[in-house]
Amino acid sequence: MTITLERGVKSWASILDDNTRRQADVISRAPDVAGHVALMPDAHLGMGATVGSVIPTASDRIIPAAVGVDIGCGMVACRTDIESLDGVDLQALHHQISRSIPAGVASSHKRIVDRAEKWFQDNPIPHPTAFDGFVKRGARRMINRAKTQLGTLGSGNHFVEVCLDAEDNVWCVLHSGSRSVGNAIARVFIKIAIEEHRENRREKLEDPDTAALVGESFDRYIAMMEWAQEYAYTNREFMLSAMLDDLHRAVGKFEIEESINCHHNFAALEEHFGQTLWITRKGAIRARVGDMGIIPGSMGAATYIVEGKGSADSYTSCAHGAGRMYSRGAARRMFGEDSLSELMKGKAWNARQAKSLLDEHPHAYKDIETVMEDQKDLVETRAILRQTLNYKG
CATH architecture classification, 3-325+365-392:
Alpha-Beta Complex (3.90)
pLDDT band at 6 (very low <50, low <70, confident <90, very high): low
pLDDT of residue 140: 85
299-338 residue pLDDT tens? 989 999 999 999 999 999 999 999 999 999 999 999 999 9
Average pLDDT, whole number, for the chain? 95
Number of separate helices (H) and strands (E) present in the chain:
10, 15
Q: What is the pLDDT of residues 197-231, one digit of tens each?
A: 999 988 889 999 999 999 999 999 999 999 999 99
Closest CA to 113 of 142, 144, 140, 141: 144
**Catalytic residues, which ones?**
320
Residues 351-364: tens digit of each pLDDT: 999 999 999 999 99
C-alpha to C-alpha distances, 297 to 190, 210, 213, 372, nearest whole angstrom: 30, 29, 34, 10
User: Per-residue pLDDT tens for 97-131?
Assistant: 999 999 988 899 999 999 999 999 999 999 988 88
What global pTM score does this model have? Answer: 0.95
| Domains of the chain, residue spans | 3-325+365-392
Average pLDDT over residues 365-389: 97
